[in-house]
Amino acid sequence: MTRDPAAQAAGDIDTSRVGWPTPADLDAVSPAEAVRRELMWAIENRIDYAPRSLQTRLGPSELGHPCQRRIGYKLTGAEISNPGDPAWYPTIGTAVHGWLEDVMKWLNGHLGSLVEGGPRFLLEHQVDVGEILGEHITGKSDVYDRVTGGVIDWKIVGERQLKKYKEKGPGDQYRVQGHLYGRGWQRRGMPVNYVAVFFLPRDRMLRDAYFWHEPYDEQIAVQALARAEGITTMVRNLGTGALPMLSTADAHCTFCPYFLPASTQVEEACPGHPGATGYIR
C-alpha cells in the first residue's frame, strides 16, 4: 500500500505530529493493520488539536480547582509533563454534550408556544462570569432554564466518580463552576435561583444518573475569582518562581498534566501533593 504525500498534506491534517504512519510503515503491514493505524492516528490527532486542548487562559471550569499550583502551571504556560492517554474521556464528554444539545433543542421545539418570550432552555451561551486583573473570564454555560431560573451543567462521568458525587457532592471544582456560570447569567440580567450539575454515567445505566443542585450563591463565585486573582498576581510577579510557593491539594495528581514523579524542579513539573495517590517520595 502506498500513500501520496501531497494527499497526506492536504486539508487541515497536521502530518507533522509524531506517529503519522508513513507509506513505508503502511507497506510493511497488512491492509487492515494499515487502516487501523491510520484511523487511530486520525482520532489522536483530532483530540490533540481540538480547541479545548490548546486553550491557555483560565476558564470557569478551572477556577475552583483545589490545587493552586495546578492553576499556576496553567498561567505560566508550563509544558505538559504527564500527557497520559490522549484525552479520550473528555472527547466522549464533548461528543455527548453535542448530542444533549440536540436533545434540548428538540425539547424546546416540543414545548413550543407553552413558554412565552422564546425557548424555555437557553443552550450553550457564552457568559462573562467576572474579571481577573481586568481580564474577562468567559465560558459556555450548557443550559439555562427560563422557567425555574436554573443553571445546569452536564457532566459525563465514570462509575467511581458518580458514586463519589452521590455520596459527597460535586466537589469544589464543579460546584464553583456552577456558581460562576450562575453569576454569568445574573450579569446578563437573568434571575438565577439554583445551580445544578446533571451527572450522567459514562459506563453505567442511565437510570444511575444524579442531579445535584443547590441555591445560587454569588459569593462562591466572587471568592473563586478573588482566589484566582491572587494566584495570577503571584505568577505575574514571580513567574515560575511562584510555583513552589503555591499550595497543593490531593486532586488526582497522577492524572494532572503537570505531574512528574520525584520531580525536584517544581518550576517545571510537580512531584504531586504529599500523601496523594500516586505520590512518590
Residues near ligand SF4 (CB under 6 A): 67, 69-70, 73, 248, 251, 253, 256, 258-259, 270, 272-273
- Give Cα 69 distance to the centre of its chain: 17
Q: Specify the residue, 212 or 259, whose C-beta has the smaller distance to ligand SF4.
A: 259
Q: Specify the residue, 69 or 175, whose C-beta has the smaller distance to ligand SF4.
A: 69
Least Å from the CB of residue 277 to ligand SF4? 10
Q: Which residue type sits at 100?
A: L
Q: For residues 174 and 156, what is the distance between their CA atoms, to the nearest angstrom?
A: 12
Q: For residues 279 and 148, what is the distance between their CA atoms, to the nearest angstrom?
A: 44
Q: Which three cell numbers stand for residue 183?
A: 453569576
Q: Specify the residue, 70 or 179, whose C-beta has the smaller distance to ligand SF4.
A: 70
Q: Specify the residue, 64 or 182, whose C-beta has the smaller distance to ligand SF4.
A: 64
The answer to whether the CB of 243 falls within 8 A of the CB of 228 is no
Least Å from the CB of residue 59 to ligand SF4? 17
Q: Specify the residue, 66 or 149, whose C-beta has the smaller distance to ligand SF4.
A: 66
Q: Where are the alpha helices (DSSP H) in the chain?
A: 5-9, 23-27, 31-48, 51-54, 60-63, 68-76, 88-111, 159-168, 171-187, 218-238
Strands ordered across the beta sheet of 210-215: 121-132, 135-145, 150-157, 194-201, 210-215
Q: Specify the residue, 217 or 268, whose C-beta has the smaller distance to ligand SF4.
A: 268
Least Å from the CB of residue 274 to ligand SF4? 9
Least Å from the CB of residue 123 to ligand SF4? 32
Q: For residues 168 and 147, what is the distance between their CA atoms, to the nearest angstrom?
A: 29
**Closest by alpha carbon to 180, among 230, 126, 234?**
126
Least Å from the CB of residue 86 to ligand SF4? 19
Element (H, E) at 211: strand 210-215
Least Å from the CB of residue 257 to ligand SF4? 8
